[in-house]
Copies of this chain bind each other. A is one copy, B any other.
Amino acid sequence: MLPPLLSTLLRHRRHSLRRFVLHLHYQPCKLFSTTSSSPLHFPLSHPTYMIWGSNTSLGKTLVSTGLASSFLFSPPPQSSSGSRRRKFVYLKPVQTGFPSDSDSHFVFAKLSSIASRCNLPFSLVASNSVLKSSVSAAKSVLSVGGHFETNEFQFGMYDLNSRETNTVLRDGEAVSELVSKTLYAWREAVSPQLAAQRENGVAQDSAVVEMLQQCLINELEVEGENEKMNIFCVVETAGGVASPGPSGTLQCDLYRPFRFPGVLVGDGRLGGISGTISAYESLKLRGYDIVAVVFEDHGFVNEVPLLSYLRNRVPVILLPPIPQDMSNDLVEWFCDSEEIFDSLKQIMISAFSERMQRLNDMPKKARDVFWWPFTQHRLVPEETVTVIDSRCGENFAVYKAQNNEFMTEQFDACASWWTQGPDATLQIELARDMGYAAGRFGHVMFPENVYEPALKCAELLLEGVGKGWASRTYFSDNGSTAIEIALKMAFRKFSLDNGILLGYAKNDTTERCIELKVLALKGSYHGDTLGAMEAQAPSSYTGFLQQPWYSGRGLFVDPPTVFMCNRIWNLCFPEGMLSENVIYKDKAFSSRDDIFHKSREESDLYRIYSSYISQQLSQYSGTKGTIRIGALIIEPVIQGSGGMLMIDPLFQRVLVNECRSRNIPIIFDEVFTGFWRLGAESAAELLGCVPDIACFAKLMTGGIIPLAATLATEEVFDSFIGDSKLKALLHGHSYSAHAMGCMAAAKSIKWFKDPLTNHNVIAEQGLLRELWNVELVQQISLHPSVQRVVALGTLFALELRAEGSNAGYASLYARSLIQKLREDGVYMRPLGNVVYLLCGPCASPEICSQLLIKLHRKLDEFSQIKELQTSS
């Protein structure tokens, strides 16, 4: 939609230079370069807040200092039960203009000054350290002071480790401690990114995040104490909320994995309302909670519109005017503001307690009010409920109350029921797009209307997964509805082609003499609504206990499968497929690619499959019988819910060919397989043949919001054209083609297939590169606990070797393995004895390898335990 010009930067060139349209060398930037090897893990035992500014120089450090003063200098706790020690931790991850500017030094020095004015009834121990700095900043420090030592040169930053201290000793046990720290410092008073570049001192996002995590652990996880120490921690950002950090990542993105609640220091000046509100919105857009907005009173009553905007739900705090006289040491100002800061501190402590209370209560409340799908509630004791505080890309932030309260990251390896695709960068893009779509459209109804996101999404679907065959997009809400729509389409087409509708043209509801069934594979699964269930073979989901109305309206054929076992890809025939006189021995493949190879169509096996299918279909052919096969429905390549079974693609090709030759419409259920799940945009591409109708959902929106689409050929569409509305497809849902869903889908479809945004895409092949390390996969296939393995696209799955009651969908056999993996930062959910890993289409192979290594390690532990159990 945007002209080519738009991807350019226009820069003024004075006088002589007439060419001012410059192409910036665009580096597609991943917001999060963090690929830290170990999952984030940090304490949540004490109030910890971000201090944000809506702009630079609005007084963030004054607020931090005021809070420190309020926390450390209020009367010490008197009760014998409470600790007599208090600690305020001030962390400044990024400082520029150092050493002449040093906010951590300011807090340290100011606290010391304030302390000297009050006659403290307790001891004060204060320190300020600077951990790492650029070389030029370090040189500058060394030339000024004397007692600093510089350590080795590391990733462009010096281990400066400077430290200054100040101690005021008083009688008694009560001690107030200030720990003030700068994590990274640069010399130039410009933005951190610019300073880092100019001073050759780059700090990766992962380094900043890890160092911050380490400081939090060091200062907040006070071990060996009998009593819980009284600690308060603030992390002060640099500049405005969306100012770039040292790597260029915006700070609101950089610190997002912690998602600490925040205080926003706003702008009380003329025109300051706008910037304050916008900064607030940028923070909300990234999932942050803001507990208070604070700003200096300039007399412009900015608080009135702000409170109105915030609907009184977030308190607004005004600070007295700050003396502009540079000689003023502000100590009097701090003393004047004491009660203001006490109130702010109190708000922050209350909000913290409430958050912790809620987090602690959540498992119980969840068990009280939820009715989880696919869950036997009796098997979920309170302590196994996972409290998810947030998601950042592919990681959950999980709250744990055990021992000390903490937050820990878990990789969402089940892709939240196979929906997830976004990394942290795409998640933020989608969040902004979701706000945009809601702000622009909310939801608008679809039939007979057109609006941009729906049109764009439909176009992208037809150009992408529907390319070469589909011409129409039918939107619905989920895979199950998409399937029901597909079945209605297929049956109409079939009936029309076969003259069945003649007798029903008047849409009568008299007795029906024709019964339509689907041809489907055993082990397939197409959704939970009745229509979708009817198209699948009987299973645990379909019994009277679950669905009294299920009858199973299909011819269900047992398919041949392929999998890796002991490093080799094998073919496995179902019982009864090979008649007694056929001997077929060629069941091993030299590589996975061979399984998909076109040359197999020339093989004997093709003919074996073909005659097998023909034989099955023969019972329903002809025009005499009352039962007719009105559609073929398959999950191409992989049957998901059936246990991540890989069906021999040759068999599915034969199925398609046999049905097409009989004029039976072909439905591909790509709800699970679509959008790069298996390494190509659609599984149809892997199969190398096209359907008449296909269903998509899950990953289509990047996994952020429900939306489904049923694509169809123009011939299928035409079978609903007529003069009466009664001939139209009368199936729809309220939110058909809702704007937010279509917007998310349009963004994700483009994002996943563009090599600029998805580094895994090999453009010329239209495939993802191999994400699962082949050697590791083979290693796992050799493991004694492992029955079979499948690795394809973003999917890695294995079936545990188990017998008797340990087999099947309801098996709890894998439970201990899953539990171990969750503790190791991998959130998995099994399908009976099948455990699987799913990553997003943009995930790096490094992350996938880490997952495989963890899985392999836990398999060892698992099999040791099982052995012990067996032998005992």
Give the residues in chain B near A621, CB-CB below 8 Å.
none
**A285 and B343 in contact (CB under 8 A), knowing A5-B350, A304-B24, A388-B449?**
no
Across the two chains, which residue of chain B brings its CB closest to A711? B371
Neighbour of A738 across the interface among B350, B449, B541, B705, CB < 8 A? B705
User: A412 within 8 Å of B by Cβ?
Assistant: yes
- In the docked arrangement, what's the CA distance between A241 and B449, Å? 31
User: A430 within 8 Å of B by Cβ?
Assistant: yes
Within 8 A of B (CB), among A278-331: 278-279, 281-282, 284-288, 291-292, 297, 300-301, 303-305, 307-309, 311-320
- In the docked arrangement, what's the CA distance between A282 and B18, Å? 35
**A336 and B6 in contact (CB under 8 A), knowing A504-B545, A704-B442?**
no
User: A587 within 8 Å of B by Cβ?
Assistant: no
User: A697 within 8 Å of B by Cβ?
Assistant: yes
Across the two chains, which residue of chain B brings its CB closest to A527? B733
- In the docked arrangement, what's the CA distance between A287 and B430, Å? 14
Q: Is the CB of B275 within 8 A of A275?
A: yes
Q: Is the CB of B480 within 8 A of A733?
A: yes
Within 8 A of B (CB), among A715-737: 717, 720-737
- In the docked arrangement, what's the CA distance between A379 and B432, Å? 38
- In the docked arrangement, what's the CA distance between A534 and B550, Å? 12
Within 8 A of B (CB), among A365-409: 365-366, 368-380, 384-391, 396
User: A274 within 8 Å of B by Cβ?
Assistant: yes
- In the docked arrangement, what's the CA distance between A343 and B725, Å? 51
Q: Is the CB of B271 within 8 A of A726?
A: no
Give the residues in chain B near A534, CB-CB below 8 Å.
530, 549
User: A674 within 8 Å of B by Cβ?
Assistant: no
- In the docked arrangement, what's the CA distance between A312 and B3, Å? 12
How many copies of this chain does the complex contain?
A: 2
- In the docked arrangement, what's the CA distance between A829 and B704, Å? 31
- In the docked arrangement, what's the CA distance between A344 and B20, Å? 12
**A354 and B734 in contact (CB under 8 A), knowing A320-B12, A435-B434, A481-B480?**
no
Q: Is the CB of A449 within 8 A of B385?
A: yes
Give the residues in chain B near A193, CB-CB below 8 Å.
304-305
Q: Is the CB of B427 within 8 A of A728?
A: no
- In the docked arrangement, what's the CA distance between A285 and B697, Å? 26
Give the residues in chain B near A316, CB-CB below 8 Å.
9-10
Within 8 A of B (CB), among A445-502: 445-452, 454-455, 458-459, 462, 471-481, 484, 487-488, 491-492, 495, 501
**A300 and B191 in contact (CB under 8 A), knowing A391-B442, A447-B372?**
yes
Find the residue from A374, A458, A549, A829 having the highest chain B CB count within 10 A: A549
User: A507 within 8 Å of B by Cβ?
Assistant: yes
The interface stretch among A413-421, A592-600, A662-670, A783-791 is A413-421
User: A542 within 8 Å of B by Cβ?
Assistant: yes
Tell me how far the C-beta of A712 lies from the nearest C-beta in chain B, rounded to whole angstroms. 7
User: A422 within 8 Å of B by Cβ?
Assistant: yes
Give the residues in chain B near A730, CB-CB below 8 Å.
373-374, 528, 540-541, 546
**A495 and B548 in contact (CB under 8 A), knowing A273-B244, A388-B444, A434-B435?**
yes
Q: Is the CB of A340 within 8 A of B9?
A: no
Neighbour of A530 across the interface among B24, B259, B431, B484, CB < 8 A? B484
Tell me how far the C-beta of A156 lies from the nearest C-beta in chain B, rounded to whole angstroms. 19
Q: Is the CB of A389 within 8 A of B450?
A: no
User: A810 within 8 Å of B by Cβ?
Assistant: yes
Count of chain A residues near B, Cβ 8 A: 231
Find the residue from A26, A287, A427, A735 having the highest chain B CB count within 10 A: A735
The interface stretch among A51-59, A171-179, A219-227, A848-856 is A51-59
Q: Is the CB of B278 within 8 A of A442?
A: no
- For A251-290 the 0/1 string (1 means CB < 8 A from B) is 0000000010000000000110111011101101111100
The interface stretch among A144-152, A508-516, A763-771 is A508-516
Give the residues in chain B near A478, CB-CB below 8 Å.
477-478, 481, 733-735
Q: Is the CB of A703 within 8 A of B431?
A: no
User: A443 within 8 Å of B by Cβ?
Assistant: yes
Q: Is the CB of B704 within 8 A of A370?
A: no
Give the residues in chain B near A240, CB-CB below 8 Å.
271, 273-275, 278
- In the docked arrangement, what's the CA distance between A366 and B455, Å? 7
Within 8 A of B (CB), among A1-20: 1-3, 5-12, 14-15, 18, 20
User: A363 within 8 Å of B by Cβ?
Assistant: yes
- In the docked arrangement, what's the CA distance between A720 and B374, Å? 11
**A315 and B5 in contact (CB under 8 A), knowing A337-B12, A441-B391?**
yes
Q: Is the CB of A545 within 8 A of B727?
A: yes
Across the two chains, which residue of chain B brings its CB closest to A550? B509
Q: Is the CB of A698 within 8 A of B734?
A: yes
Q: Is the CB of A445 within 8 A of B417?
A: yes
Find the residue from A300, A449, A740 having the highest chain B CB count within 10 A: A449
Within 8 A of B (CB), among A226-244: 239-244
Give the residues in chain B near A274, CB-CB below 8 Å.
54-56, 239-243, 250, 279
- In the docked arrangement, what's the CA distance between A57 and B527, Å? 58
- In the docked arrangement, what's the CA distance between A288 and B737, Å? 21
Give the residues in chain B near A286, CB-CB below 8 Å.
439-440
Tell me how far the C-beta of A249 lies from the nearest C-beta in chain B, rounded to whole angstroms. 9
Find the residue from A437, A717, A741 having the highest chain B CB count within 10 A: A437
Give the residues in chain B near A495, CB-CB below 8 Å.
544, 548
Give the residues in chain B near A24, CB-CB below 8 Å.
303-304, 307, 312
Q: Is the CB of B733 within 8 A of A706?
A: yes
- In the docked arrangement, what's the CA distance between A724 and B698, Å? 28
- For A343-373 the 0/1 string (1 means CB < 8 A from B) is 1101100110010001000110110111111
- For A189-210 the 0/1 string (1 means CB < 8 A from B) is 1110110000000000000000
User: A809 within 8 Å of B by Cβ?
Assistant: yes
Tell me how far the C-beta of A355 lies from the nearest C-beta in chain B, rounded to whole angstroms. 8
Q: Is the CB of A443 within 8 A of B287?
A: no
Across the two chains, which residue of chain B brings its CB closest to A450? B366
Give the residues in chain B near A11, CB-CB below 8 Å.
297, 303, 317-318
Q: Is the CB of B270 within 8 A of A56?
A: yes
Q: Is the CB of A375 within 8 A of B458?
A: no
User: A167 within 8 Å of B by Cβ?
Assistant: no
- In the docked arrangement, what's the CA distance between A492 and B676, Å? 39
- In the docked arrangement, what's the CA distance between A22 and B809, Å? 61
Q: Can you report 10 residue pairs joining A to B where beta carbons are below 8 Å apart?
A: A9-B316, A18-B339, A24-B307, A28-B311, A284-B435, A368-B471, A370-B446, A373-B447, A373-B476, A514-B548
Closest 6 CB pairs of A and B: A240-B274, A287-B440, A373-B732, A56-B271, A435-B435, A530-B531
Known A193-B304, A278-B279, A378-B723; further 8 A-B contacts with Cβ < 8 A: A18-B339, A26-B308, A243-B274, A366-B455, A374-B447, A479-B733, A507-B543, A543-B726
